[in-house]
A and B are shown apart, each in its own frame.
Chain A
């Protein structure tokens, strides 16, 4: 199971304050579906405009990136270009 860390605001709004959770998913899309099942509406909020770090690598537009058994997944704001 991958360890997922939600953005603070979303954790508060939709997950009753729970920031860290374990989710079964093989890729990012599955992860969003799983989160959405657990916390209805969360999938939509995480689909666009967020970046994700999977095992330390940042993806600005995540979609099908694979997630390992013990991956760490962090949601982050997208990084602006300077």
Chain B
């Protein structure tokens, strides 16, 4: 089958790629654009390791088709830091040791940023439910939740 040509915006930059019609957005990001920060933990929407923003909505990129990116804006973990300035969440994840192996980290960061962008002051319960679509097998979530709480406090203080 002929490949499709997709024109899209990734982390604020115009990008083009060729993909199969049934190729997932995750595979296109990783294999066509070399953006391997988004991870595949399951391929079925259950682990959140592939979380990206598509037109401002948090999605599992393993469940989106690459062709759906046509004309839309994709944000991935690679675009989260502002140049060499880490996003507060990236910093608090490091300070709070919210990662052990780190495979889940990109997905958690993208999802947590989506939460704080819409709710700057979530409760612990809200954080836990928002992040319930992201699996971490290493940390037991304690330090992840604390890192999100700490980033929220810092971001409110800066705002």
A and B touch in the complex (CB under 8 A): no
